[in-house]
Amino acid sequence: MCGIVGCIGKKQACPIVLDGLRALEYRGYDSAGVAVIDSNNSAQLFKQVGGVENVARLINSSKKPVKSTVAIGHTRWATHGQPSIENAHPQTNQSKTIFVVHNGIIENYSEIREKLIGQGYKFISETDTEVIPQLIDYHLKKAKSFEQAFIKTLGELRGAYAIVALTTEEPDKLFAARLSSPLVIGVADEELIVASDPAAILAHTKQVVYIKDYEMVVVDSKSYKIHNYLKDTTVKRGTEELDFDSEEFSKAGYPTYMLKEIFEAPATIKSATLGRIRLDPPLVKLGGLERVSSQLKFIDRLVIVGCGTSFYAGLVGEYLIEEIAKIPVEVQLASEFKYRDEPFSRSTALLAISQSGETADTIAALKKVEDYGILRLGVVNNVGSTIARMTDAGVYCHAGPERAVASTKAFISQVVVLAEIALYLSNGTSKLYKPLLSELELLPGKAAELLKQTETIKRIALKYKDDRDFLFIGRHYLYPAALEGALKLKEVAYTHAEGYAAGEMKHGPLAMIDPSFPTLALATDSPQLEKTYSNIQEIKARNGRVVAIATEGNKHIESVADDVIYMPQTAEQFQPILAATVMQLFAYYIAEARGVNIDQPRNLAKSVTVE
């Protein structure tokens, strides 16, 4: 989503803020801006539509040199108001003495706006953010300090936000707060950096302080002070060390982050299993679940919630947990779950899946059940994220940073982790326990073998680069994989794609089939393969073209499909992992042929921190 960076210290702050914003470009945005206050208490504001480099050029061409040890910056993904200079952040009060950057949505902004207009305030943007500096200005007329006015303002805001404010009233400080939107402080030797994502901080320090909900922080050049404005209490919190390096954020010679992350599939699988599985004697050890192991014994129903790719991984998890652990599972979209009124017993557990750990709808799902007295579990990638802190227990994916907006490593690692959870919950009683543990050990090597077929996948993908519609079909474990494959093609190649359970073809989708509407059929070895053959024949009988993903050694598939991509043999339960890699590459090369921005697809953001 939007990105926030603020810096204060001994060094020139503007270059640090610009570098931090560049590090957040992967999140997706449409405009950017920077505000600074110099030693003469003079403010400068630079905003442009488009990339961070547009703002950098504006700063470099400024007639007045931009020199300051304090600055804030922002990359905006439009919610309220179209991309424009007026709507870009930082937003200001009328006298341009208060500057604010904001992630999230202020739900009662219209009400606040009307109130302030009644008090003589004028607004120039369409954003919800502009009410924040104007409201601070309003309270500052009666407050004893800027900090007090800031806290009064926070008390009136409804919604989700991460806010950083800068003012000429106190130019030696940054003021920040969060509610349901991530915010972190990086503590370096000569500066402190406030950001919405650790990626903006890594080049300068790995020592961070995570800010929690209802906390505001005052940061100066040497220290930070945290205050819980809901409880009116001072909070003491030390730093934590980030567990990844800045090198992980580079492209490492690949043309795009997405291609790099696809090729990290073998390492992603290995990282998700490292230290967690043992073959002799067979054992699954999940330290993140051990402290609730006694509670897990009494679980008779599991509800999985997630959005997008995480939701599809959850659907695979439903099959895994029901088959291996024999626990009934249902999977719900987090964006719908929070509005449902359904019965919950104390023996139900909720499992939230999120790559970022900051997905607004998934956080809302967890908040919905916080007073239910049920166990809340998490599967997240980002250590220290909101969901990781909200849940009672969970398992990290350990996939490392994922910078392409379209998720690749996350789906693979989530499915691996869900398989481990299923095996863990089975307590070794499943007949699949030993075979699947053995297969997990072999899976990274099979993913590496699959990646050797990249040129074949590219050649086949280019045959379909001009098609505007696509159907993805699969059965059983491969049905959720089909949904994920269709999503990837939509996200990166802007191709209309639908994922369907193959058994549903005669219930509607066959009406769409013609020579201009190709199908990608997941037809790997499984008990359902013969039925998938029938579906392919139905499509061929209606002049539809078919790309099949099949298991190595299946020559029969070549007689029914137009093109075949082979993947190594693996257990049916893990086929979605290898198939996902094939479909990611298929979508990637179609997108590349169309010349679109693969890492930052239009209209999308990496971490959806607002509804």
Q: Is 337 in contact with 365 (CB distance < 8 Å)?
A: yes
Asked about 2 being catalytic, the answer comes back as: yes
Q: Is 127 in contact with 81 (CB distance < 8 Å)?
A: yes
| CA–CA dist 214, 196 (Å, integer) | 15
Q: What is the widest separation between alpha-carbon atoms in the chain?
A: 80
Q: Please list the residues that pair with 162 across neighbouring strands.
A: 103, 178
Among residues 409, 446, 490, 606, which one is catalytic?
A: 606
Q: In whole angstroms, how large is the CA radius of gyration of the chain?
A: 25
Q: Which helix (H) or strand (E) holds 191?
A: strand 191-195
Q: Which helix (H) or strand (E) holds 120?
A: none
Among residues 2, 7, 14, 397, which one is catalytic?
A: 2
Q: Choose among 416, 426, 451: nearest CA to 571.
A: 416
| CA–CA dist 513, 538 (Å, integer) | 10
Backbone angles phi, psi at 105, to 5 degrees: -135, 130
| CA–CA dist 526, 141 (Å, integer) | 71
Determine how β-strand 375-380 pairs with β-strand 348-354.
Answer: parallel
Q: Is 359 in contact with 373 (CB distance < 8 Å)?
A: no
Which residues fall within 8 angstroms of residue 596, CB to CB, at 6 or more apart? 492, 493, 494, 602
Alpha carbon 417 to its chain's center: 17
| CA–CA dist 204, 195 (Å, integer) | 12
Q: Is 554 in contact with 385 (CB distance < 8 Å)?
A: no
301 φψ region: left (φ > 0), alpha (ψ -120 to 50), beta (else): beta
Q: Please list the residues that pair with 185 across neighbouring strands.
A: 194, 209
Q: Choose among 189, 163, 193: nearest CA to 178.
A: 163
Q: Is 357 in contact with 333 (CB distance < 8 Å)?
A: no
User: Which class for 86: exposed (0-12), middle (13-18), buried (19 or more C-beta within 10 A)?
Assistant: middle
The sheet carrying 393-396 orders its strands as: 329-333, 301-306, 348-354, 375-380, 393-396
- DSSP 3-state of 51: coil
Q: Is 296 in contact with 481 (CB distance < 8 Å)?
A: no
| CA–CA dist 145, 45 (Å, integer) | 23
Q: Which residues are catalytic?
A: 2, 606
